[in-house]
Amino acid sequence: MCLHAFEFSESDLGPMMSGKLVVLTCGGGNGAHCLAGLAAVRPDIESRVLTMYADEAERWAANLDSGFIITVHNDDGSIKSIKTKPSLVTKDPKKAVPGVDYIFIVVPAFAHAMYFEAIAPYIDDNTVIVGLPGQAGFEFECVNLLGDKAKRCTMVTFESLPWACRLIEFGKNVEILGFKDTLGASLLKGKECNLTKPIIETTQYILGEKPKVRHVQNYIAITLMAKSIVHPPIMYGKWSQWDGKPLSEKPLFYQGLDERQAELLSGVSDECVATAKAIEKKVPGLDMSDVIHVFDWYLNYYSDQITDKSNLMMAMKTNKAYDGLVHPMKEIEPGKYVPDFTYRYMAEDVPEGIVPMKGIAELAGVSTPYLDEVIAWCQGKLNKEFLVGNKLTGKDLKDTRAPQKYGYNKLEDLFTGSFEVTPQ
């Protein structure tokens, strides 16, 4: 892992900007600590934080004078400590938002709407709004809640967090266990947005040298690439035949994969790839080649950590990055465990993950038997109705980020209107 991004010389300092770049991080979790801290290290960036959950802002602000530490674990086993301090931590959007150039939303998808509504009255023209990660339907929700202001902004969606990280002590110490080598990001630019700074390059500057930000060709491609496809099929495959009896230990999640779970995941991924290919045929000039099968994604992103690359099941079972990771479980009595269907693997990755993917497939005219099977079981466990038969016409579609919720009822609706789908 290279840390040159944190060793500054005059040539490092803002070659693309004059004056300070003002960056706002929304959130108070491990990822938000990392981003706010890394941005604050840059001498020509003013780093602010808006966190609206409970008393997080008060707790973080109480420690602000002394700053906090980012502990970085290098690939060679060495450890580097970075002292950093945002200029402002608040729960008041009126204080946090005016004058901001970049807004990073670093919270779970279910909390995105709360932050969009909070920032909407104060957001300036030509602001860049970044979902880190965005999750499926990020742009639909942003456009819906920001209204006309979205036309004067640019949305950036990342496929995942840039780091493996954990919070050691709130407001005082966050740990980066590793950086991804590359990370895909898409742009959706409002046609009234007059940004002059190069967005991908400036975003790279904020994050630092790693990961390398790779421009994904359009926002629908990155939606179909979202890793929220992974958890629901595995949950369904593992627990659909469960007899209801508590288990004596928590089963391995990825490394406990069996052939049925791998088949379900592969089938869902096949349907996303088929959707991308169908869209490419129907929308002239659109490049959907970034949408690849989940097995190929694992081979690309975890090549050095997978020992058996013969098939998807073995690649996941032998991925060292997944060592020891278990299913989300609830302990109902000492040593007795049952699955937790309220965990984000279901509660977030279905309504803000595979349901929007199903919605896009529906608009593209692609049959999705695997997605339908997984969604049908998951919605039962969530006590929701998204899917009726094989159509997204359920009464709880309003609780998802499917395009149909926002009035996108034809494929062309996703690629026309007030936004540039493939800005450079």
Give pLDDT tens digits for 21-54: 999 999 999 999 999 999 999 999 999 999 999 9
- Rounded Cα–Cα distance for residues 197 and 127 (Å): 11
196 CB-side CA count, 13 A? 3
Known catalytic residue at 293: no
Please report the DSSP string for 158-213 in residue order. ESS-SEEEEEEETTTEEEEEEE-SEEEEEEEEETT----S-HHHHHHHHH-SSSEE
Q: What is the pLDDT of residue 199?
A: 94
pLDDT at residue 148 above 70? yes
The per-residue pLDDT for range 65-75, each reduced to its tens digit, is 999 999 998 77
Question: CA nearest 229: which of 273, 281, 180, 277?
Answer: 273
The DSSP secondary-structure symbol of 350 reads: I
pLDDT at residue 145 above 80? yes
Q: What is the pLDDT of residue 64?
A: 92
Number of neighbours of residue 285 by Cβ within 10 angstroms: 7
The per-residue pLDDT for range 266-311, each reduced to its tens digit, is 999 999 999 999 999 999 889 999 999 999 999 988 888 899 999 9
pLDDT at residue 15 above 60? no
Look at 168-172, 208-212, 237-241 and tell me which has the smallest mean pLDDT. 208-212
Q: Are 32 and 171 in contact (CB under 8 A)?
A: no
The per-residue pLDDT for range 337-389, each reduced to its tens digit, is 999 999 999 999 999 999 999 999 999 999 999 999 999 999 999 999 999 99
Q: Please pick, among 215, 231, 293, 327, the residue that the annotation labels catalytic.
A: 231
pTM over 0.75: yes
Please report the DSSP string for 273-330 in residue order. HHHHHHHHHHSTT---TT---HHHHHHHHSGGGBS--SSHHHHHHTBGGGTT-B--EE
Looking up tokens 């929700």, which residue turns up? 141
> Residue 120 — pLDDT band, cuts 50, 70, 90?
very high
Domains of the chain, each with CATH number or no CATH:
21-216 (3.40.50.720), 224-420 (1.10.1040.10)
The per-residue pLDDT for range 149-191, each reduced to its tens digit, is 999 999 999 998 998 898 999 999 999 988 888 899 999 999 9
Q: What is the pLDDT of residue 8?
A: 31
Question: CA nearest 225: which of 264, 174, 186?
Answer: 186
What are the two backbone dihedrals, phi and then psi, of residue 407, each rounded to the nearest 5 degrees? 90, 10
- Rounded Cα–Cα distance for residues 33 and 30 (Å): 5
